[in-house]
Chains A and B, each alone.
Chain A
């Protein structure tokens, strides 16, 4: 279908964007890559009056080391992440996840920030951002604040971003040599929203994992960390029994949500399968 009519403005600065957001409120939408927004508009599921194109905002771009963090700007595209040497070194799980996001043509335009702010529980980046312990840097008329990724995803398509705030980018603690990870995604077709997925990151010394993040996506209304399973595994020597216990804990603690062809029971089952595979893989590294 054709989108309903709207006005369009290409913003030149963050203050301009914030002013426009304040003026138009819910009648305006920010457009970064537009890969989700324009599909929504094409189906007339949403009819904003104004599109604010933020792709010119240089402050939201770039992948660079700033202090002890890897900065990934909100406007960085999925393809840029896929190809970035800095990401491969300092947040490698993102490079592993990127090829699973839709398809190349979409990755060329779709953005890190756009995916994070949309808050689709089936998307890869929200779960990955929690797994790498990212901090979202957001700015509003009141100024700038930081929100931990683990606090950012509040509900289905709902983040902690206030209506007058814009995501500038994320600060990701640099992965060190001891980091192991496993990105698992089960999808019926490559590039689809997952049936179930897992972004698992841990620090590994010998057989002992610490600082574990086991973040599942596409199983609930938000990405969800298996907190009990993480606690069970943290600072323990990982062996078959521990893996089994972690799997049981993850299955028990996560309240799964069915989708159009997969029951909640199937999702719970797959939570366990993915965690087992991830732990075995990370152990073998």
Chain B
């Protein structure tokens, strides 16, 4: 069995010779320009003849579209076109967002602009294009749509009732996807258990609120039928594929470019109807069309996520061993599954992940994913993990409480031991190697747990109620094709990198995974500098351009470091080999006598520098006449990497939250947060720390602040920045992060992903801390976001 190394003094073996950057907190040199106002985001781009589009979006949850009157709008100065769904459908096919490996999943065809019906408040129906955004908005006010309001499905609890209208009658019901999993002898285990705990958990629908809204510029050249799209997006190759197929273009005629992206978090990895509509307009009008979602329209048009009600129970022995988990997860999406990754993945992951850190063998889960007339939902940072972790960790705390065992001790007893790998979890997920025990030991020390409990006890006597909450978590990263490819989606799980030595001796690396702020370009520069053997200042990283980089998958499921990074490593290593071969040919020496070091070829025996990279470049590109006839110069190499050992490479971690609850007001103060994360080899500790912190705060948002509040007719009541509450600096705690490094053997780098684990565990840790604070009053709050209203209600004060 593999056994991970202990933390103290752990330094992993280097990946490269003369490793200077991998593993170090190297600053992101290419990000300095962002601090100087020199970024290039989509809205910074202007093109001649560019038109601006705004969309008339349904103001109600469900309508039959009767007629659209646009004459007045067309007559306004600056208006270039008004286009409806019928016109758009002549060039853009509808789509159905299902995956074949999610058996039985169904969804209805959806158009870029709604034609007969609009099925959610915010669905785009009419496109208005003008010379400026302001003119387009002026014209928008003159668009008159005659409609008939239709009954809306707005409650997930009644979505499947016979009396509830069907959103798509041809589908037969409002059920998108269902799944049942039954492992072991769950009923027998519950019957035999000494302790059973159960609860119903609620999770409020919320959304990503990227600071830069969704935006793109589509530009179609009617002369050569080439489409270029500048897109604030995470997966340019995926969008290239979708645009070519939906519009009947040749794949090689579609060019997607992602420059600076102002935050994405999964919100920008999906294909939106207005994405296709904007492209369609560029094709119809033969001019560049810019779409920048206004913040108000972002709230109803960006994907939402995480609307679940989960009934859960846990069974344990009186000695303190968890026997079984059971859940029933009801989750509500929009009226269509979202294209192309589908809206069933989140619920599917909840089923896969509940109970994940623990060694029980018995598990039963039921999932129902139902349609509603609300904004469509899809993958958002963490994707199901925050739900699964919150349910699991709250049930674990309930069991520990009944057993009168310390919640940390209970976890230490029940996590899969560090020497048990490889193994599978009860739901069938395969674990290569995790470090739950080590992480729990580490967090106990970090937070001075014993002292903290004493502080809690002392303060309770003074009427101050603080709570400590834990969350042990697993997080899937580095996906194989098991995630989407098997389901028929043309989403690459492999990735590629090209490494090129330029004539002056600097190195350019083109990679299929891009940058949205997490620091991928930074770590790729570190890997390339070490693996080619140059200073980091001599490395340029190019991402986000389908015409330039190898074909890849982009950013999702925390694959940038582990998969993109490995491709960079392989390409850089191959380039170094070729540099060495060329050096041997130039110097007429056996390559075994030479090595590469910091832009120089070194004589191994003497340690002398004998040839600089600039000479390699000069001769390799301009003086091939001086080389042996049969020698092939190859100073540009491409390598691809796919993770094929496991469906996913799981990571693990543990978080703790320390809170104070004001019993009179119900307000929660977040005093401190700790996270121990094991993402395998840490390529850059500072960047991982910051990913973990940002992800934790995003998780806290869902736990305490963020909710898309709908009224009974399916209208969003708080779709603006004053009423939808995102975390701001004042309320957020300091977050201390520690690393455990258990590398994956599936790659040379050994790096796993780190982008989402913070979000997976934070809601669980905070909720458990609040309930720990409320322990003396024997009340629990399991509905997120946990507001002062809910706490006051639980305490019986209102």
Contacts and interface: CB of A to CB of B under 8 A. Distances in A.
B273 to A, nearest CB: 20
A270 B137 contact: no
B294 A190 contact: no
Interface in B650-667: 664-667
Interface residues of B, number: 29
A263 B789 CA distance: 7
Nearest to B135: A2
Contact of A189 (B141, B717, B730): B730
A271 to B, nearest CB: 11
B718 interface: yes
Nearest to B721: A39
Contacts of A43: 296, 720
Contacts of A189: 705, 725, 727-728, 730-731
A273 interface: yes
A1 interface: yes
A4 interface: yes
A186 B667 contact: yes
B665 A186 contact: yes
A44 B134 CA distance: 11
Contacts of A193: 722
B667 A190 contact: no
A2 B725 contact: no
A44 B142 CA distance: 13
Interface string A181-195: 000001011111101
B245 interface: no
A69 interface: no
B271 interface: no
B731 A190 contact: yes
A5 B76 CA distance: 13
A269 B798 contact: yes
**Chain A interface size range:** 20 to 34
Interface in B267-303: 294, 296
A278 B60 CA distance: 45
Given A260-B709, A261-B789, A269-B792, A190 B728 contact: yes
Nearest to B136: A2
Interface string A144-159: 0000000000000000
A243 B94 CA distance: 67
A248 interface: no
A266 B133 contact: no
A265 interface: yes
B209 to A, nearest CB: 14
Contacts of B161: none
Given A4-B138, A5-B138, A189-B705, A273 B789 contact: no
Nearest to B726: A189
Contact of A273 (B141, B294, B665, B718): B665
B456 interface: no
B6 interface: no
A262 interface: yes
A2 B134 contact: yes
B718 A265 contact: no
B682 to A, nearest CB: 33
A260 B294 contact: no
Interface string A171-202: 00000000000000010111111010000000
A195 B798 CA distance: 15
B717 A260 contact: yes
A269 B667 CA distance: 13
A1 B293 CA distance: 9
B210 interface: no
Contacts of A265: 798
B294 to A, nearest CB: 5
A243 B728 CA distance: 35
Interface string B698-737: 0000000100010000000110101101011011000000
A263 B798 contact: yes
Contacts of B200: none
A260 B723 contact: yes
Contacts of A270: 665
B788 interface: yes
A268 B789 CA distance: 12
A135 to B, nearest CB: 31
Interface of A: 1-5, 43-44, 186, 188-193, 195, 260-263, 265-266, 268-270, 273
27 contacts: A1-B137, A1-B294, A2-B137, A4-B138, A43-B296, A43-B720, A44-B137, A44-B141, A186-B667, A188-B705, A188-B787, A189-B727, A190-B728, A190-B730, A190-B731, A191-B728, A191-B730, A193-B722, A195-B788, A260-B717, A261-B709, A261-B787, A265-B798, A266-B788, A266-B789, A269-B792, A273-B665
Q: Which 9 A-B pairs have the closest CB atoms?
A: A2-B134, A190-B730, A265-B798, A273-B664, A1-B294, A269-B798, A266-B798, A189-B728, A266-B789
Given A189-B727, A192-B722, A268-B798, 18 more contacts: A2-B133, A3-B134, A4-B137, A4-B138, A43-B296, A186-B665, A188-B787, A188-B788, A189-B731, A190-B728, A191-B728, A191-B730, A193-B722, A260-B709, A261-B787, A262-B788, A265-B798, A266-B798
